[in-house]
């Protein structure tokens, strides 16, 4: 069990889920709830359970909550930052396995959910979108990322220090923003099999938002291709400038 991890739970009206989730969190974790403007008893339940509670900054959306948490994390001295969805779909007792994976040379590790379980709980449309965007992301970044929309993430302090300044996503595109900035900065990303379960409470993730994931993915892949092209161009110029001059005939 690790005792130096800050666990982020981004929330928006997750009263029902928090009541079931918080008691399962290992006592070794410091829990930070970052809220996007809940109108139910989310804050009361979180603070009653001893969680830190912050109202998110930067605007509305999950991405703003994640960035708020990273900002808070960097002001402290925790070694790791973990993030799971607060809707009860994630089992917090699995986080330690992801942190152990960080010890194998990775800066960021995400959970990889079982495809059959995704179909059972989220539907075939959700699995299709996830496989499409994950496949495109894997191809673009040359790193095996089977579940880009994962609800489990862990980061080393170095990773957060490196990627936080470049993050700008406010919504559900935060996962793509994290991967994009990790790739751009040369960080190594790994994954670990995890379990998921049925959420508690009402889902905020509509079919429209799932479809929008394709646009998010393509946008960040395009940005990546632009960077790769610029790097290749600079590399070509560098080689030309340092090429040995041809001897005079």
Structural domain includes residue 35: yes
Query: By the 8 A CB rule, do 96 and 2 touch?
Result: yes
Residue 56's pLDDT is what?
Answer: 95
Q: Which of 97, 90, 74, 114 is nearest to 200 (CA)?
A: 90
Structural domain includes residue 249: no
Structural domain includes residue 230: yes
Residue 206's pLDDT is what?
Answer: 66
Helix axes 174-184, 62-75, angle to 10 degrees: 50
| pTM exceeds 0.85 for this model | no
Structural domain includes residue 80: yes
Spans in the chain with pLDDT lower than 50: 1, 244-247, 249
Classify burial at 27, counting beta carbons within 10 Å of its beta carbon; exposed 0-12, middle 13-18, buried 19 or more: exposed
Structural domain includes residue 247: no
Return the CATH number at 97: 3.90.550.10
SS3 of residue 106 by DSSP? coil
Tell me: the pLDDT tens digits for 76-101? Answer: 999 999 999 999 999 999 999 999 99
Structural domain includes residue 18: yes
Q: Measure the CA–CA gap between 24 and 26, rounded to whole angstroms.
A: 6
Q: How many residues does the chain have?
A: 249
Domain total in the chain: 1
Q: Measure the CA–CA gap between 106 and 79, rounded to whole angstroms.
A: 14
Residue 120's pLDDT is what?
Answer: 72
Residue 138's pLDDT is what?
Answer: 76
Containing structural domain, residue 46? 5-241
């Amino acid at each position: 069990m690790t005792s130096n991890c800050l666990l982020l739970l981004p929330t928006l009206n997750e009263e029902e889920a928090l009541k079931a989730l918080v008691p399962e969190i290992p006592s070794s974790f410091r829990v930070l709830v970052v809220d996007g403007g809940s109108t139910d008893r989310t804050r009361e339940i979180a603070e009653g359970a001893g969680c830190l509670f912050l109202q998110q900054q930067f605007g509305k959306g999950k991405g703003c909550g994640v960035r708020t948490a990273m900002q808070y994390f960097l002001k402290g001295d925790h070694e790791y930052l973990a993030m799971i969805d607060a809707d009860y779909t994630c089992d917090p007792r699995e986080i330690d396995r992801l942190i152990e994976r960080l010890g194998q040379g990775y800066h960021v590790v995400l959970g990889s959910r079982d495809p059959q379980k995704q179909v059972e709980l989220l539907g075939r449309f959700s699995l299709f979108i996830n496989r499409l965007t994950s496949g495109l992301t894997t191809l673009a970044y040359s790193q095996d990322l089977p579940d880009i929309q994962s609800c489990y993430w862990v980061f080393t302090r170095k990773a957060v220090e490196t990627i936080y300044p470049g993050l700008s996503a406010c919504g559900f595109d935060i996962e793509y923003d994290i991967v994009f900035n990790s790739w751009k900065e040369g960080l190594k990303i790994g994954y670990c099999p995890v379990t998921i379960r049925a959420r508690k409470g009402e889902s905020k993730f509509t079919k429209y938002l799932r479809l929008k994931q394709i646009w998010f993915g393509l946008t960040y892949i395009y940005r990546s291709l632009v960077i790769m092209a610029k790097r290749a161009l600079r590399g070509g110029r560098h080689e030309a400038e340092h090429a040995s001059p041809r001897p005079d005939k």
